[in-house]
């Protein structure tokens, strides 16, 4: 057997080669990248054509030859073997069976040799067509106890997370934990999760810190850089958990909003709100309060909640405690569910007003509807209390120029109108509720499409058993014997889907809409009757005109 150079295009394929299965595109891409970077490391084996031709037939290395041609190599080194009676069949089989891929430990040792020869990690990654992250992961083995490395070389290795935890510990710490969890004849497999748990130190990352460097210095926090973390994120951390949480606690105290609270957390890391407090799941209202707490990673989280309004009792009314107890059936939707729908519906309405396409005539119609909301109070100017309309002034001021004259383009007008509608319209279950007009406005501009997925544990827990079973109707989920099992199945089903409860849709109930329209019609009729009386009384008309003139005179002054 001797070495020679040949043109890879001149070599013939062996139709009787052992490996007939096609390789994957990923494997071919890896080999092609390696050939382009460092050439063919192991020359293919060829033999004279047994069919009497003058050429050579590939005995072993068909992929290397094919990809050398793809790489544009005009010559490659090959090993020329003597012709055999079996056409090289045994040689090809032995060559493929005997070949074994390098285990991760041997790969790491090879990488370290390349690094010692001044190869960079990026260059190694390009040559092997591997991500740089994979090269960094293998280099973690430099920090592993030799006894662990010997076991990993047998094919039993930890995952990346476990490997990072083990590599971050000292060799003495690894040695102590390895004594407890090393393999035995009875159990040759290692529980790497137990090894990692024994070595894991709680890390508090700088990216989760709300406090600044000055406060960190005051608490003696020294950041450590995770050299193996991705380069595009802040990977600094500290294992001084007590100091980190103390700095976070001080930051929360200094930045707590008015009437806000710092909440404790339960076993599941959820904030514990005051008794009878109800969490606000949409955007907070004016009277809602703020709670800050630290999650399991030490990060400051903020939620909003509202306290129930004090109950008012009329004099002489019956004490509820004295009333006879009546059997109560649970409604389809709890009060919390109704309020959640109000919050979510309002957020969707506001988002639709900000983003949905709205024609100019529709925009004007929405403004009329908004001003008809029961939560809107318009001051005439006769009252000294101007705060009722000060909220709308910030939108109106956008329509004036520096000289105090109305000067605006349609884009400015549209933006101001949308912002004003967002301030006015509300579907929340509190005193800000605009009533049926908010429902009508949301239905008109398609705000239903902005409603979020309600197939969550938080919302579905507000549904009764019949309501939950109706929610299963158009899904493959079958009602379970226990309500919580049905709810859990629905949560799993809607995890990547989108569920909107019919009660949350904006379209108002036809009967309620008819009642509202009839009531407005009656009010208009009363106004027309009053107007006709005023027209028959010239004195009243003169007096009304005088009031208007006086108002304009005051405004001009």
Contact 260, 247 (CB under 8 A): no
Beta-carbon contacts of 277 under 8 Å, excluding residues fewer than 6 positions away, are 305, 306, 307
Contact 348, 443 (CB under 8 A): no
363-419 pLDDT, tens per residue? 876 776 676 566 766 443 333 333 434 356 666 677 677 777 767 678 877 887 888
Which structure tokens are listed for 390? 């000060």
Based on its alpha-carbon atoms, the radius of gyration of the chain, rounded to whole angstroms, reads 38
Q: Which DSSP category does 382 fall into?
A: S
DSSP string, 250-316: HHHHHHPPTT-EE--B-TTS-B-PPTT-EEE-SS--TT-EEEEEE-TTS-EEEEEEEPPPPP---TT
Contact 86, 57 (CB under 8 A): no
Host H or E run for residue 361: helix 360-371
Round to whole Å and give the CA distance between 194 and 158: 11
Round to whole Å and give the CA distance between 51 and 49: 5
All residue ranges of the chain with pLDDT < 50 are: 97-98, 321-328, 378-390, 533-557
Residue in 469, 441, 433, 472 with CA at minimum distance from that of residue 338: 433
What is the structure's pLDDT at 526? 64
Host H or E run for residue 59: strand 56-60
What is the structure's pLDDT at 374? 63
Question: 58-83 in b/e burial notation, b at 16+ Cβ within 10 A?
Answer: bbbbbbbbbbbeebebeebebbbbee
Beta-carbon contacts of 380 under 8 Å, excluding residues fewer than 6 positions away, are 551
Q: What are phi and psi of 294, to 5 degrees?
A: -105, 130
**Strand ordering across the sheet containing 300-306:** 261-262, 289-294, 300-306, 278-280
Report CA-CA distances (Å) from 345 to 305, 374, 428, 451, 471: 17, 17, 8, 6, 19
- For β-strands 278-280 and 300-306, DSSP reports them as antiparallel
**Count, residues in the chain:** 557
What is the structure's pLDDT at 548? 34
What is the structure's pLDDT at 527? 59
Round to whole Å and give the CA distance between 91 and 86: 9
What is the structure's pLDDT at 89? 53
297-341 pLDDT, tens per residue? 899 999 999 988 776 655 555 555 444 444 445 677 877 888 888
What is the structure's pLDDT at 37? 81
């Amino acid at each position: 057997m001797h070495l020679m150079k040949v043109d890879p295009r001149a070599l013939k394929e062996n139709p009787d080669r052992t490996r007939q299965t096609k390789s994957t595109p990923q494997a071919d891409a890896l080999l092609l990248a390696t050939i382009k970077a460092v050439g063919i490391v192991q020359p293919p084996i060829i033999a004279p054509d047994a069919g009497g031709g003058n050429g050579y037939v590939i005995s072993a290395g068909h992929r290397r030859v094919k990809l050398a041609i793809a790489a544009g190599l005009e010559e490659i080194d090959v090993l020329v073997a003597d012709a055999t009676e079996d056409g090289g069949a045994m040689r090809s089989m032995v060559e493929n069976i005997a070949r074994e891929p390098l285990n991760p430990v041997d790969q790491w040792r090879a990488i370290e040799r390349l690094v010692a020869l001044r190869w960079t990690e990026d260059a190694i990654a390009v040559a092997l067509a591997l991500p740089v992250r994979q090269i960094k992961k293998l280099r973690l083995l430099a920090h592993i106890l030799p006894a662990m490395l010997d076991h990993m070389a047998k094919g039993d290795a930890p995952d990346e997370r476990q490997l990072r935890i083990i590599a971050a510990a000292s060799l003495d710490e690894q040695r102590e934990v390895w004594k407890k969890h090393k393999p035995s004849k009875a159990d040759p497999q290692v529980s790497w999760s137990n090894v990692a748990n024994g070595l894991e130190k709680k890390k508090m990352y700088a990216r989760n810190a709300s406090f600044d460097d000055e406060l960190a210095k005051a608490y003696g926090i020294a950041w450590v850089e995770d050299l193996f973390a991705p380069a595009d994120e802040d990977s600094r951390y500290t294992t001084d958990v007590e100091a980190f949480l103390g700095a976070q606690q001080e930051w929360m105290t200094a930045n707590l909003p008015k009437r806000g609270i710092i909440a404790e957390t339960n076993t599941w890391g959820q904030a514990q709100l005051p008794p009878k407090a109800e969490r606000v799941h949409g955007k907070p209202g004016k009277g809602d309060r703020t709670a800050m707490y630290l999650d399991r990673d030490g990060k400051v989280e903020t939620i909003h909640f509202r306290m129930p309004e004090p109950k008012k009792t009329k004099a002489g009314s019956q004490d509820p405690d004295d009333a006879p107890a009546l059997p109560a059936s649970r409604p389809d939707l709890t009060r919390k569910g109704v309020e959640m729908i109000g919050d979510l519906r309002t957020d969707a309405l506001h988002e639709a007003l900000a983003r949905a396409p709205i024609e100019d005539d529709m925009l004007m119609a929405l403004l009329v509807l908004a001003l008809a909301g029961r939560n809107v109070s318009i001051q005439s100017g006769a009252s000294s209390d101007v705060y009722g309309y000060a909220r709308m002034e910030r939108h109106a001021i956008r329509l004036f120029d520096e000289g105090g004259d109305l000067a605006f383009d349609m884009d400015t007008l549209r933006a101001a109108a949308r912002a004003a509608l967002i301030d006015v319209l509300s579907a929340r279950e509190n005193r800000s509720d605009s009533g049926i007009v908010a429902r009508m406005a949301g239905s008109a501009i398609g705000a239903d499409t902005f409603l979020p997925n309600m197939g969550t544990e938080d919302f579905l827990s507000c549904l009764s058993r019949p309501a939950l079973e109706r929610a299963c109707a158009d899904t493959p989920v079958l009602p379970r014997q226990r309500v919580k099992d049905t709810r859990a199945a629905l949560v799993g089903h809607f995890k990547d889907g989108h569920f909107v409860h019919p009660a949350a849709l904006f379209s108002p109930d036809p009967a309620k809409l008819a009642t509202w329209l009839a009531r407005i019609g009656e009010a208009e009729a009363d106004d027309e009757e009053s107007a006709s009386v005023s027209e028959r009384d010239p004195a009243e008309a003169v007096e009304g005109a005088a009031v208007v003139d006086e108002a304009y005179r005051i405004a001009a002054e």
